[in-house]
Amino acid sequence: MHLQSIRLIQYKNYKEAHVAFSSQINCFLGENGSGKTNLLDAIFYLSFTKSADQAQDLQCILHEADFFSIKGTFSQNQKERTVLCAYQAGKKKSIKLDNKPYKRASEHIGKFPTVLIAPNDTDVIRGTSEDRRKFFDAIISQVNQSYLNNLIAYNHALKQRNSLLKQFAEQDRFDADLLEPFTRQLLDLGQKVYEVRKEFIAVFKPLLVKHYAMLSGQRETIEIDYESDFSEGIEEKFRHSQKKDLILKRTNRGTHKDEFVFLMDGKPVKKFGSQGQQKSYLIALKLANFDFLKNELGVKPILLLDDIFDKLDDLRIEKLIQMVASDAFGQIFVTDARPERSISIFEKIKQEHKLFTVSQGKVEVRKQIQ
């Protein structure tokens, strides 16, 4: 599977652009703010039906415009597939595959698997437990539609239960019979979410350890621990937490509190890892993400590498490029604000690659090596 071309209309800083890609390596070169990341984000949108860095579609529309559209043409199983994502201010966005609209955008997730490594991904390492849950949920949802449906239903039940807790506080009353159905939903759905996450981590962990060892030259040992209220005695935990729930007006137990702890030599990476070690851990997470999707779906995901070389020492860059140049990956997209660095790196790679110059929302082919 690979992306043959993309057409943007009024997406972020692109008034209009039509770009054809290499099926192997594509590198976008240009100054910061030129639109390199926005181009990767448009590719991400074609897979996930949302932007990687903007919570609202309205924020993705070109300044002073009122809509955007992204059209991507993929080659998949020797067949041409077209994905169209469009949004007009004040209206529901439209997602179509081969000109057929989806009833729900979530039905598209996993059809064109993509892995993005971006600078703001460090939130996965340094941020909250919610950042880490979102990261892993996005991976699992691409291979397990039932998991995604259960997760959506769980979050809906959680929102309803929290709303009821707020009503109790505002009305200075409590009705256990009203609360019980939502508690039961969280227990039932949460158990299903927990079981899938637990099985996933058991498969994911060896992939993570392998990639970090390759990147670091085995200089450090890493681990990942999964902590959940559902590991034991969840009903008792919910019952004991009810008083606290009423006081705080929110649900304090459940899979929405799950945590994934990243360790290096037995210590939290978040607190004790250097910038280079944290970025290496992040890259290993994303490459493990790639391997997991490849193994589960039987297809190599598209790999998006945004400003990937920053904060990596020469050894880690060399190890990363060795992996990129291998047959382990399919189509790759890279951005770099230092053209001379990428040109030097890709001159050593025998794989087909295409270099683009990006400037002020315009994309031009700089060089193509076949």
Q: Which residues are annotated as a binding site for ATP?
A: 30-37
Q: Rounded to an integer, what distance in angstroms lies between the CA atom of residue 12 and that of residue 42? A: 9
Residue 42 near residue 368, CB atoms below 8 Å: no
φ/ψ of residue 362, rounded to 5 = -120, 140
DSSP symbol at 22: -
Q: Rounded to an integer, what distance in angstroms lies between the CA atom of residue 332 and that of residue 345? A: 14
Neighbouring CB atoms inside 10 A of 217's CB total 11
Which segments are annotated as binding site? 30-37
Residue 26 near residue 353, CB atoms below 8 Å: yes
Measured in Å, how far apart are the chain's first and last C-alpha atoms? 19
Q: Rounded to an integer, what distance in angstroms lies between the CA atom of residue 120 and that of residue 125? A: 10
Token pair 């990006």 in the structure block, residue: 358
* Tokens (6 digits) for 3: 């992306």
Beta bridge partners of 76: 79
- Kindly calculate the radius of gyration of the chain based on its CA atoms and give it in whole angstroms: 22
How far from chain centre, in Å, is Cα 311? Answer: 21
Pairing of strands 79-88, 25-29: unpaired
Q: Rounded to an integer, what distance in angstroms lies between the CA atom of residue 50 and that of residue 259? A: 25
Residue 318 near residue 131, CB atoms below 8 Å: no
Decide: residue 92, CB within 10 A, 0-12 exposed, 13-18 middle, 19+ buried. exposed
